[in-house]
Structure 1
Amino acid sequence: MADHDPRELQKQLADVSKRPEPELRGTPITPDRYYSKDYMDQEWDKIWTRTWQIAGLSRELQNKGDYITTSLGSEKILCTRGDDDKIRAFYNVCQHRGMQLVEAASGNDRRLTCPYHGWAYDIAGTLKFVPDEADYPQGSPCGKSNLVEIPCEEWAGFVWYNMDEDCASLKSFLGPIAEQIDSYPMEEMVRTHWVTVEGDFNWKLVQDNFSESYHVPFVHPGAVYVLEYSHQHCQFDHYDEGHCRMFMPGAGPAKVIKGGEKQTLEILAEELKLWELDPDDYRGGNIRNLRKDLQRQKRALGDAKGYDFSTYHDDQLTD
């Protein structure tokens, strides 16, 4: 379990102040970082196998005996909820001949049986049964050749694992990001969609994309009417722990857009109706007032409409 409880922080506002700008090294980002197998192998050894990853949702492991499986690179991971109610993570590999132990994405079972030779483990990873147990000249492997357990924590509605047995805690890994996530009741949210996207490109291109807004007017042309994308008017922060964030003001056109009220009001029509705002009030040059008015309206009507915004800054209601 995590070493802090989100419910204890429920009324605490996250720190959204601007982080100091990182010192730029001025060294080039060479193309080989995106196609070199050697560089990819170094990332596997120094990043992927040493950082916390999400295995799935806590809701998928509600009952004793529930399990989920996931993978990262060539590694297969199995997470279970034991009879002691503890969630554990293991390499999803039978300790006999290296067969993948569980193939299903999820399920419930008190005994995890290898489909190759029938070795069976309990949900705490202990080997409980092997066929022809007496035939092993070195003695029975039961209770000895157990599943290999790796660090596992449950937090913010997710199950996390780390392949580095000497890793820092999840909270330390997340650093200040943790309190920001804690301001949202993540553990109370329900997944409604699950989409997997496979792309023939390096993973860093995704991270690069979410570290800048330069692409917005070209990739998301409609967004410029409801989102600020200019770096002069957005906030980009980088953390020593390796994480980053960006704040982009919403509920209005980017400052570079002249006019745009028609498009903005069309896109936000349903939201304005929900929060009892009249679009006509924002015609004729008043569109720049919409963002703050929407924040105030959400703050005033949130409780009555079933929303709890008590842990949100005003900007979190629109940006």
Structure 2
Amino acid sequence: MKTQIKVKNINSTSDLVLDDRVHKSLYSDEKIFEEELDKIFNNTWVWLAHESELPEAGSYKTATIGRNPVIVVRDRKKNIHVMLNRCRHRGATVCEGKTGKTKAFTCPYHGWGYGLDGSLRALPKPEEYENILDKAEFGLIKVRTESYQGMIFATLKDDLEPLEDFLGGAKKWIDLFMKQGGGYPIKTLGDHRFRFPGNWKIQLENTTDAYHFPIIHKSFISSLDEEASEIFDFLDGDGFVEDLGNGHSVMVMIPELVDLDENLDEPIPERYGDLAKQLADEGHSDLEVRRLVRAVGGGGFNLNLFPNVACSMAFFRNLVPISVNETEIHHIALGGDGAPEAFNQKRIRLHEHFQGPMGFGTPDDGEAWERVQAGSMAGTDGWIMLHRGMSKLSTSADGNVQGAVCSETGMRAAYQQYKKLMSQSSEQ
């Protein structure tokens, strides 16, 4: 057992992250939270949207990078831009909607107008700016953006490594996750948002934490039929958690559902019998029916992409840090673009069953996250233990560190990337 480090002997945030534990002050120290916004969210790739959320020219979504409000928009040429949501005149936001469609952005304060590509197009009384303002120099400030498999990321750091390099070993798993559409491209079906009174890292840890599942989610498991409940009894199965580098990790809970294009000749589960019949009655071939039915429940893994999004079995979970003790969560339901209506409806019903605000999963998770935050205020010293499974690690086929499905390998991966970024000096 390593020697306990007292808070008074800690000189920097990096001292709060050890190989097998992190200090509880990471959940409650306001100074540390402000440092995180600067050194992490302002200095890495941050997920903002999926391309299907911007289906047409003029489609937009507002989001944040740390505390920086941004607009994600598709212009008339169908190109995607990410721009700071700030008028270049006096700084008011030019877009307040969560999502929508527009022909332009207009500042509500003084009426400066911007095109979908961010260019300054019009301003009241332009003669007052004659010879003193070049409109080409005062467009909305663009943020570097790159996409992978329809997932849109942006960064405030111009010299950061390319997105594909940052994703690294996670790309393989993103590719697998995008088979959710059952032969159709992935499409977002809507989202719901809520806040919980806790630090963002508490939720980050949760995505690859299988250890809590049979305890926290007893009500969910009890709501399932016998066949489905056996699928979710995976702690003693052949699943695993793998460190994918750069803070990313994957937790495989149901190995037989990792690749949704495989095993299409397996018997159709009884719980999906009605769906299979409906699809067949609509004229879909046997192969199409099997592909759709196999994909409808999602893949058998959770993929954590540091620092703010998870591809979790069948949905996107986006975390947004609000304050040191408040986090906003966006649960984004997924379906197939052009897929049969019955397929997408079933995806929504399954999403509601677990992730929805009246579901059996999310409310229980939220209660646990809130209690962790409350407990972090107890005492003047204390550590969050992340050492489970450290004595039984192995090397994956891809050469990565791998632990059992109930190990804390994913959390350790995230915190080592956290430590790396927090150890860097702030850029001026």
Q: Secondary structure at the match of 1:47?
A: helix
Match of 2:214 among 196, 214, 217: 217
Matches within 5 A, 1:113-128: 113-128=106-121
Aligned to 2:187: 190
In the other structure, the counterpart of 1:86 is 79
After superposition, residues 88-103 of structure 1 pair within 5 angstroms as 88-103=81-96
Structure-1 residue corresponding to 2:149: 156
| CA positional deviation for 1:166 | 2.1
Q: Structure 2 length normalisation: TM-score?
A: 0.52
The equivalences for 1:105-116 within 5 A come to 105-116=98-109
Choose which of 226, 234, 239 in structure 2 pairs with 1:234. 239
> For residue 187 of structure 2, what is the amino acid of its counterpart?
V
Number of paired residues?
A: 252
- Cα distance, 1:273 vs. partner? 7.5
Greater RCO (Cα-Cα under 8 Å, separation 6 or more): 2
The correspondence of residues 6-85 of structure 1 with structure 2, limited to 5 A, is 26=19, 28-85=21-78
Q: Alpha carbon RMSD of aligned pairs, Å?
A: 3.3
Call closer, same or farther: CA 1:145–1:272 in 2, change over 3 Å.
same
Partner of 1:204: 201
1:224-263 paired onto structure 2 within 5 Å: 225-230=230-235, 233-249=238-254
Per-residue CA distance 1:189-242 (angstroms, 9 max, x = gap)? 232341212100011111222232221221012546432443774311112211
Displacement of 1:89 in angstroms is 0.5
Q: 2:289 aligns with which of 305, 308, 312?
A: 305
Kindly indicate whether the alpha-carbon contact (under 8 Å) linking 1:87 and 1:154 is maintained by their aligned counterparts in 2.
no
Supply the AA of the counterpart residue of 1:208: E
**Aligned equivalents of 1:126 and 1:118: distance in 2?**
14
Q: Which of these two proteins has the greater Rg computed from alpha carbons? A: 1
Q: Percent identity?
A: 23
How far 1:48 sits from its partner (Å)?
1.2
Q: Please identify which structure carries the higher helix content.
A: 2
CA distance in 1, matches of 2:249, 2:147: 22
| Structure with the largest fraction of strand | 2
Specify whether residues 139 and 246 from structure 1 end up closer, same or farther in structure 2 by C-alpha distance, changes over 3 A only.
same
* Deviation for aligned residue 1:65: 2.7
Mean Cα deviation higher: 117-126 or 230-239: 230-239
Partner deviation per Cα, 1:230-256 (whole Å, 9 max, x = no partner): 3774311112211011111379xxxxx
Q: What is the CA-CA distance between 1:112 and the residue it aligns to?
A: 1.5
C-alpha distance in 1, partners of 2:64/2:127?
35
Q: Give the SS at the match of 2:232.
A: coil
Q: Summarize the Cα distance change of 1:274–1:124 in structure 2 as closer, same or farther, 3 Å threshold.
A: closer
